[in-house]
Amino acid sequence: MRDIYENPLITRYASKEMAQNFSDDKKFRTWRKLWIALAEAEKELGLDISDEQIAEMKAHQDDINYDVAEAREKEVRHDVMAHVYAYGVQCPTAKPIIHLGATSCYVGDNTDIILMRDGLDIIKCKLLNCINVLSRFALQYKDMPTLGFTHFQPAQPTTIGKRACLWIQDLLMDLNQLDFIMDNLVLRGAKGTTGTQASFLILFDGDHEKVKALDRLIAKKMGFKGAFAVTGQTYPRKLDSNVINVLSGIAQSAYKFSNDIRLLQHLKEIEEPFEEKQIGSSAMAYKRNPMRSERIGSLARHVLTMALDPAITASTQWLERTLDDSANRRIVIPQSFLAVDAILLLYINVADGLVVYPAMIERHLREELPFMATEYILMEAVKRGGDRQELHERIRRYSVEAGRHVKVEGKANDLVNMIASDPTFSLSRQEIDAIMDANNFVGRAPQQVEEFIGENVQPVLEKYAAILGLKAEIEV
C-alpha cells in the first residue's frame, strides 16, 4: 500500500529477523505459550487441570484464529480478553482454565521481557560479527603509520590498526553491558493484579510455598532463571530503561565510528565501500559521499533520543501502575531494537569493506612529520655537540617560517631543507630523513594491537563462536 505511512525501519533498514521478533504473530504466540506454562505449572502444583486440557491448548498454540480475536476485541475493547476468548473457542475443554488467576500483565509484561531477551540475542550476534570484522582489519593494518589527530589537528602518529582498536574497545564495553543485562534478566512471573499474588493464594488455599513455586516453574518453563521478587501490576519499568540504555551505548559506539570514517573519507585516507554503479550525487557525478556512515549517524541519533523515553516512563509510574506507559513503550522498545539492528548491519558492511589509501596517508604524514620530528632532530644534534638552547631557537624560527610558507603561500613544508642546510645541526638530509621515518613515531602501537586482540578480543570471539553459531563468520 502506497497511500499510508510505512515505517522505514521495517521497509528499508532493519533485518527481517528483528522485524519478526516484534511482530504481532510472535507476541500472540508467546501469549499462548505463557498460558500453557501457567496451566502446566498450576497442574503440577495440584490444581484440577487435566492432561487433556493442556494437550488441547498445545494443539492450538500456533494456529491462532485471528479473525475471532479481532472481532471479539471490537466488542470488548480489550486485547487480552479477546485472545482468551479466541483461544477458548479453539479449546472448549480447556476454556475454563485458560488465564486462571492471571491478570493481563501476566501475558503482556512477560511477553515484553521475552521479546527483549530474544532481541538482545539478535543484537549480540551482530555485535560479535562487527567486533570480528574490525579485529581482522586492525591486525591487517597494525603496522601502517598514520597521522594521529587531537582536536582534528595533526598530532603524533599512530597506526591504522591502533585506531581501529579504539572502535573495537567501545564495542567490547557495549558487549559487557549487554551480557550483564542478559545474565540478570528475569520474568515478571505470576504476580496478580497488584503484585500481591492474592488470586493465586486463593487458588492454592493459602499455601504460600505453592504460590512461590508457581513463579519459579513458569520462569523455568519460559527459559528464565527466575522472576522479579516483587512487582506492582507491571514489572519495574526501570528494566526497560536499562535495556534501552544498552542499545543506546551501541548506537553511541557506532556513531563515533561513523564520524571517524566521514572525517577520514574527507581526508581521502580511508573510505567506506562504494559500489561500481553507485551514484554519489544527482548533480556532482564525481562525488563519493559516505552515505552509509551518515545513515549510521542518522539512526544512532534516533536511538539516543529515544533512550530518554524509558527513563521518563520509569520515573513517572504511579504507585502499583499507570497506563501512560503503554503507548510509549509500544513505539520506543521495538523501534530502538530495530534501529540498532539496522545500525549494526551497516556497521558490519562498512567495516568489512573499508578502502585504505596508503599513498594519501603517507602524503599527510610527510606534510606534518617535519614539525613532529624537531624534538628528535634536536636531541640528535645535541648528541653531536650542539648547544641545546641555540638549536631550539633556530628550530623555532625555521618552524615559523615553514608554517608561513605552507599556510600563507601554499607551498610545501620545507622545514627539513632549512635544518639540513644549517651546519649548526651537523646533520645531513639523509640523516634527517632517517629520523623522520614514520615508524619511529608510533611507539608501541603495533604491539598494542596484537596484545589487545590477543588478550581482550580473541577470548570473547572464542567464547561465543559456538554459542551463537558464528564459526563460519568468525576466524578464531
Residue 302 annotated among the catalytic residues of the structure: no
Three-state DSSP string of the chain: CCCCCCCHHHHHHCCHHHHHHCCHHHHHHHHHHHHHHHHHHHHHCCCCCCHHHHHHHHHCCCCCCHHHHHHHHHHHCCHHHHHHHHHHHHCCCCHHHCCCCCCHHHHHHHHHHHHHHHHHHHHHHHHHHHHHHHHHHHHHCCCCEEEEEECCEEEEEEEHHHHHHHHHHHHHHHHHHHHHHHHCCCECCCCCCCCCCHHHHHHCCCCHHHHHHHHHHHHHHCCCCCECCCCCCCCCCHHHHHHHHHHHHHHHHHHHHHHHHHHHHHCCCEECCCCCCCCCCCCCCCCCCCHHHHHHHHHHHHHHHHCHHHHHHHHCCCCCCCCCCHHHHHHHHHHHHHHHHHHHHHHHHHHHCCEECHHHHHHHHHHHHHHHCHHHHHHHHHHCCCCHHHHHHHHHHHHHHHHHHHHCCCCCCCHHHHHHCCHHHCCCHHHHHHHCCHHHHCCCHHHHHHHHHHHHHHHHHHHHHHHHCCCCCCCC
Given 50, 266, 281, 315, which residue is catalytic?
A: 281
Residue 281 annotated among the catalytic residues of the structure: yes
Q: Which residues are catalytic?
A: 151, 281
